[in-house]
Amino acid sequence: MCLTTTCQHWGLLGHFGFMGSFHVSWAVVGRKVYIMNIHTGFITHFDMGTKSWNPPLKLESRDVQHLRLASTGKVLFALGLSVADEGKESAVKLLKVDEVTMQCSEVSQMPKHLWSSFTDHFERGTHPLLVFKYVRCTGAGNLMYVYSGSYFSKMEICVCDIEDGYRWQHLPPLPADLVELDVRSECCSFQLMPELCLKTQFEQECNGDTHLI
């Protein structure tokens, strides 16, 4: 089910029964909230204007087996994992999604050395899908952030500038006393960058000692 609020009360927006799974990813584009099963690729959206669910469609993409949604607020993207040779070779691709047909077109591929910075924290021989399970992404303006959501691995953050030829860059490590995070939480990617919630003395104070950076 989905809830909405006007700051006065909560309202039930209805069920979307085709996704009986916790393996979902979501993103917001304009007044539409997209929800997708990351393994099957089935996707639907809730239109805040009409207060209705759209019939599910299949997100189509060649050579990509697992997907996560992301958004810049105006454009829908998907971060996809391509696995070959029984898991020995893998690549992460950034796809642009046509919101009408749900067809995906590859716009960029994460450089191999950046993807390795995520996989290197796992035991040798770990299937790439297990690594990708902990990868999160969020967009803000012309930037697409990709980071590790695993509490037991080193925090890695990289960014792709979608208006500068899809240029990828590895962000500097967090300060030493921020490496051990108490919380890594997800939130709406619309106009928030990046979605990391920390307990620290640094950066802008949000509420008590919980901060957004």
- Segment 18-75, tens digit of pLDDT: 554 557 888 889 889 899 988 888 899 988 888 888 888 888 887 888 899 999 888 9
Q: What is the pLDDT of residue 212?
A: 39
Where in the sequence is the domain holding 34, given as residue range(s)?
24-179
- The Cα 124–Cα 10 span in angstroms is 47
Provide the domain count of the chain: 1
CATH number of the domain enclosing 152: 2.120.10.80
- Rounded to an integer, the average pLDDT of 172-197 is 52
Q: Which of 52-61, 80-89, 91-100 has the lowest mean pLDDT?
A: 80-89
**Residue 211 lies inside a defined structural domain of this protein:** no
- pLDDT of 174 > 50? The answer is yes
Q: What percent of the chain has pLDDT over 90?
A: 21
Phi then psi for residue 87, to 5 deg, are 90, -5
- Residue 79: pLDDT band with limits 50, 70, 90: very high
How far from chain centre, in Å, is Cα 132? 11
